[in-house]
Every structure is written in structure tokens, then in C-alpha cells.
A and B are shown apart, each in its own frame.
Chain A
Amino acid sequence: MDELLPRLPFADWIDTGVDWLVDTFGTVLDGFAEVLEGIVEGSVDLLNLVPSILLAFIFALIAGVISTRKIAFFSLIGLLFIDYLGYWYPMLQMLTLVLTSVIFALVIGIPIGILSSQKAGVRKVVNPILDLMQTMPAFVYLIPAIFFFNIGVVPGVVASVIFAMPPTIRLTMLGIQQVPKDLIEATEAFGATTWQRLFKTQIPLAKPTIMAGVNQSIMLSLSMVVIASMVGAPGLGEEVYRSVTQLKTGVGVETGLSIVIVAIILDRITQYAGNRKKKLGGNTL
């Protein structure tokens, strides 16, 4: 069949583009990859120096300080259970990967969210990109990640940063825009600068919404760990992936359960941190 329109070689163009990027920024990217890998692996090693039971207590203590005793208690039991199952080290690897990704996602995402909340122009660019990112299947992010960073922990982190970022951007933007108009008017009537309006009023009031975004980003990053293991990111995800490919149902359930425990702990702590203010009558949003 003769085609009326010539088929445009989109795939070729993208490949060429990526190749050009790799050629041009290769050294920079390599340097970045090395630093990132150093940070992640260094952190894992450092954490692993601490005896697992002691570390479980420390984590529980942190949970208790941020949130409630109940959540702290659950964290302790959950972590000790993972240790008992023998997945302590992969759990540390996963946790480090997740937290590193989330920190990057927040460091990049929150400023983008703030900026887009202020400028309609930025919003017009950012919104469609976010729509695209959120409809894209997760493992698509792995492909460019591999191109730029080969395999291992770095493409895993990069893919999960990209995957986890949209909710943080969106909810930061939303939270700031949701601040009631009369409060904004009050800041202006009293002669506040843009900066003062943002940091003394909008961001503090948007905090619960921003925290909901952070919570979602953490959850997305966790959901990425299994996928990231396909490009060689180590951790609990890798164990799940292996058990699936080797049809080891028992191991699959154990490792899956461990991921769920970590997910619940992180979820509860961040949810609590986001809602805490409400009790003081501190928020209307």
C-alpha cells in the first residue's frame, strides 16, 4: 500500500537527539553520575555500619518525634520484622534510593511549583508537560535514563526523580493558588513585597497541600523501585523483580510485604506532618 503521507521518522529523530546529548554532555553526565552513585552507595554503607536493631530504634525515634507514638511503635515492629526476614540490607538500599530521589524531586519540584503559581506564562508551559509526564508509563523514563547513565543505581534514581516530581509541582502550585484572595489582598494592602507575600503567607498556608504532594511523591518513588530494578537499581525492588522472573512466590510475598511496610511507615509520617497544624486551628485550607 502506497502511503499518502510520507511516514515521519520520529523515533530516528529522538534517537539522534539523545545521541547528540550524550556526545555533548557525556563528560558532565558521567561526573554527575559518579557523584550521585557515591552519595547513594556511601549512605547505604554508612547506615549499614549501624547494627540493624539499633538503627530500627533510631528510625522509630525519628518517627516518634515527627509524628505520633503509635506510628513510631508500628515503625519499630515493621522494621524489626524486615530484619527478621533477612531483607535489612536491600531495605536500606531501597530506602536510600527512595529518599535520594524524593529529595531531588522536592529540591527541583517545589521551586518549579512556586514559580508556576506566580507566573501564568510558566504555568502554561509546565502544566502540559506535567500532564504528559503523568500519562507516560513509568518504565518509559528508564530508556533515556539508561542512555545517559548506563545501568545501576543512577538511572534508577534519575527515572524515579522524574516520575515522582509531578505531584510535588502540582500540589505546590495548587496550595499556593488556593490561598484565599482576600488574604493576598490584605498582604498587598499592608505593603508586602512579592517575596514577603510568598514566604510569610502563601507558602505557610500552602504547607499542608505541599506536604500532600511530598507524600504522593514518596509513594510514586516507592512504586518506581521495582521498575528501576529492571535497569539494575539494587534493593528490595531487585529482590521482587528476581522472584517474579524466577517464579519464587514465597520470596515475592516476603519482599513485597517488606516494601509495603516501608511504604506505610513513610506514608503515615508524612501525612501526619502535613496535617499536624490543623489541630492548632492553624489552617483553613
Chain B
Amino acid sequence: MSEEYINKKIIVKGATKIFGKSSGRAIQMLNEGKTKGEILKATGATVGVKQVSFDVNEGEIFVIMGLSGSGKSTLVRLLNRLIDPTMGQILLDGKDIVQMNKEQLRDVRRKKIGMVFQNFALFPHKTIVENTEYGLEIQGVSKKERNEKAIESLRLVGLAGYEDQYPKQLSGGMQQRVGLARALANNPDILLMDEAFSALDPLIRKDMQNELLQLHHDMKKTIIFITHDLDEALRIGDRIALMKDGEIVQIGSPEEILMSPSNEYVERFVEDVDLSKVLTAGHIMKKADTVKVDRGPRVALRLMQQLGISSIYVVDNANRLLGAVTAQDTVEAIESEKSLSDVIISDLPMVSPDTVLTELFDVVSTASIPVAVINEEQKLQGIIIRGALIGALSGDNKFINTDGTMDSTEQPITEVV
């Protein structure tokens, strides 16, 4: 990952937005390190965004999160200059949009950036397909071409067949799909989504999150996603920026934010997270004790005795999980001169590393031996021990692997002979 060249799609340097008249004095106070509250009191100017710097990698989903009034909407609008920054630079593909004139800016908005709005902002007098065509229409694309692109875009979001309806005739979730289709029809590199799913009810919201992830996977757009919901941020964000009073207080991967909050504010934010919905099997699995199938029952028994366990996982040479054997069966196999594969129990409880804890409960509570965690190639990643599951849910960090996978030096293979 580290040697791979990562293209910075967006670079924001010291962006500041001050609302209100006496912005000169406000800037001065800002440089003196005064807080948003002090500046408001002294000058009457509101600091919307305060000296924010960050960058967004090409193709990533960058989530901006924060409480109401923390400056999320203002910040995202600085990126396409729907709001002009008071100070700072905003580079899109290396070009500073703050320096652009009207025509250049319009061109960037038409070609490079799409936007999806919290309350959909569909045109009520236009049909669904006309709404979707909007961006192309104002670029002067021919009727036929824009119609084709709009229909394709609607198909992508699962709305084929609704072309001639009006927005009012659609449910909220469908309307936001149109909002998404309208933004995608222009084929922009960057999508700005300001609380795009906040107006939807929880179930629809989850569907939309999944669909966004799917679309992102297929289309590789750079997405800036605003939300005030931590669960949503953790679900969809590659990286998350946390805002408070116009400032970014922490940027990091979901795990980093969750496991090592950089200050009290982030900690408070993170405190209420329902860990069972956020943590996955990968977070709590422990390395598994295994034996290769061709080592035979004697080696297996010895391993179990050494480790003081009553069953052990059996893998093939490529570390693919074949099953498990119990100590008792192994003794019988030795006595009757059978091989390990004759006594293997292949019908084991198995989960994938990204199974969330809520879905793990049932499996773990009914299993008689630890649940195996395997990846798509059937390779054994680790095991879930009941104690670790309960420990992690109680918020005890020692049961949690911070990066969601185990360290590669800790390969789950024990070959003590």
C-alpha cells in the first residue's frame, strides 16, 4: 500500500470562512488564536470554517462528520465555491479554484464536481428524466445524447422505468436516487454529498449506504460525504474528519477514530457508538491453533496436550480450513490406525472477518468449539472466543485488534513439534 502512488484529488490549505461584516477584525482575532465564541462576541462575525487543511485521495470516500453548526455544510460548499472562502487555497487536481474566474469555475462545476443535497433539491416542474438531464442540458448537450446518458444514470441507481414521473410521485429514498443519478449523469470525478441520506428513514438509509458503496466500488469516484451520524461515517468512510466549531479535530480511518480518539471531544462523540454494530469478527479474533492435515493424528494430539486444549483446527498446506478434530477422536484414530481426515469434523461454525458482532452472537453462543473466521479463499484467519466477544462489547480495548486484522507476524499457525 505504502509504495503505491496515491494521487491527491483535493488539497485544502488553511481554508477559512467568516460570515458577517467585520471579517477583517475577525481574521486578526483568528490569527491571535481566539475562539469562535470570542470572535462572535467581539465582532459579531460567525466563523463557519476555521483554518482547515486536509487532503483527499483520488477514489476515496472522505467523510466529514460533526455536530450541528460545526461547519460541515460550509466546508463542503467551499469545495465548489458555492460559498467563497475568506482565506485559504482549495486545489482540485492541483488547480486552485479560489483563483478561478466565473467561467473557469462554472466549467469545474459542470465537468468535475457533482453535488447531492440533503433535501434532494429536485426540480418539481421537471420529470425524473428531465431532472437527471439537468447538468447536461445546461452544458448544451443535444437532447438525444443527454436523454441516453440520463436513462443510463437512472438505471445505475435502480430507477429504470420511472423516467416520466414527477419527483412528488416518488418516495424520499427514490427521490434521493434521482439526486444521485442527476449528479452521476455529468460523470464528474468528485461527488459532494451533504447529509445526503439524513432525511431518509433508517432502513432506506442503510440500503442507500450499501448502494453508494457498490457504486463507488464500480465507478471509483472521489466522494466527500457529510454526515452527523457516526455509524454512517464508520460504515462508508475510508477516512473520517471530525469537525468542531469550524475546525477539524481529528482525521483518520474509522478504526483510528474509534480506537484512539485524539481528544476528549472525539472521545465523547465516539462514546455512544454501538460497538456491536461497528466492530467485526476481524476486530476480536485471536490466532488459531492449527495442525496441517498430513502431519497425522499423533502430532495433532501432542499439540493439543502442549497447548492444553481439547480440539484443534485442521488446515491443508495452503492454510485452507478443512475442519477440526477433538482430542478424543484423535486418540481413537491413533488406536485404530486411521488418518486425521477420517475423524475430522468438517461441519464447523464459520464467519467472514467483516461480520459485525451483532450477527456473531447467535453463532458463538450455539457453537461448542470456537468459531472459525475464514476469508473468501477458505483460509483460516483466526477464531472467535466467547470471552473476547463479551470483553469487546464491554468496551475493553485489550480484546480488540486496532486495525481490524491481525498483524501479519502473528500468522495463525502453530508448528511446535
| Interface residues, chain A, with chain B CB atoms under 8 Å away | 180, 182-183, 185-193, 196, 200-201, 204-205, 277, 280-284
Contact = CB atoms under 8 A, between A and B. Distances in A.
Given A191-B107, A192-B138, 9 more contacts: A182-B119, A183-B123, A186-B134, A187-B138, A190-B186, A191-B135, A200-B137, A205-B125, A280-B166
Choose among B121, B182, B186, B192 the residue with the greatest number of A CB atoms under 10 Å from its CB.
B121
Interface stretch (B109-117, B306-314, B365-373, B383-391): B109-117
Interface in B135-176: 135, 137-139, 166-169
30 contacts: A180-B121, A182-B117, A186-B117, A186-B121, A187-B138, A188-B109, A189-B80, A189-B113, A189-B115, A190-B109, A190-B110, A190-B114, A190-B135, A191-B106, A191-B139, A200-B138, A204-B125, A205-B123, A205-B125, A277-B125, A280-B166, A281-B124, A281-B166, A281-B167, A281-B168, A282-B124, A282-B166, A283-B125, A284-B124, A284-B168
B82 interface: yes
A204 B123 CA distance: 10
A204 B124 CA distance: 10
Nearest to B112: A191
Contacts of B186: 190
A267 B155 CA distance: 45
A192 B123 CA distance: 14
Nearest to A207: B125
Contacts of A191: 106-110, 135, 138-139
Contacts of A282: 124-125, 166
Contacts of B119: 182
Contacts of A192: 138
Interface residues of B, number: 29
Nearest to B169: A281
Contacts of B114: 189-190
Contacts, number: 67
B110 A183 contact: no
A16 B182 CA distance: 62
A93 B355 CA distance: 83
Contact of A190 (B118, B138, B167, B168): B138
A277 B126 CA distance: 11
A205 B134 CA distance: 15
A187 B117 CA distance: 12
A188 B119 CA distance: 16
Contacts of B108: 191
Contacts of A188: 82, 109
B311 to A, nearest CB: 60
A211 to B, nearest CB: 14
The DSSP consensus for interface residues of chain B is mixed
Nearest to B120: A182
A185 B109 contact: no
A189 B125 contact: no
- Pairs A-B, 5 closest by C-beta atoms: A191-B110, A191-B109, A189-B115, A281-B168, A186-B121
Given A190-B186, A283-B124, A196 B117 contact: no
A196 B123 CA distance: 14
B138 to A, nearest CB: 5
A274 to B, nearest CB: 14
A196 B168 CA distance: 23
Contacts of B125: 204-205, 277, 282-283
A77 B115 CA distance: 55
A280 to B, nearest CB: 7
A193 B80 contact: no
A12 to B, nearest CB: 45
A185 B121 contact: yes
Nearest to A282: B125
A166 to B, nearest CB: 27
Contacts of A277: 125
A26 B43 CA distance: 57
A283 B168 CA distance: 9
Contacts of A183: 121, 123
Nearest to A184: B121
B82 A196 contact: no
Contact of B134 (A180, A182, A190, A284): A190
Contacts of B137: 200
Contacts of A190: 109-110, 114-115, 134-135, 138, 182, 186
Contacts of A186: 115, 117, 121, 123, 134
Nearest to B81: A188
B300 to A, nearest CB: 64
Contacts of A200: 137-138
A7 B353 CA distance: 94
A196 B121 contact: no
Nearest to A197: B138
A201 B121 CA distance: 12
B12 to A, nearest CB: 18
Interface string B217-256: 0000000000000000000000000000000000000000
Nearest to A195: B138
Contact of A182 (B109, B121, B167, B182): B121
Contacts of A205: 123-125
Nearest to A189: B115
Contacts of B182: 190
Nearest to A192: B138
Contacts of A283: 124-125
Nearest to A180: B121
B132 to A, nearest CB: 11
A281 B128 CA distance: 12
B392 to A, nearest CB: 42
A192 B109 CA distance: 9
A284 B113 CA distance: 28
B85 to A, nearest CB: 16
B178 to A, nearest CB: 12
Nearest to A196: B138
A193 B109 CA distance: 11
B237 to A, nearest CB: 22
Contacts of B138: 187, 190-193, 196, 200
A136 to B, nearest CB: 37
A197 to B, nearest CB: 9
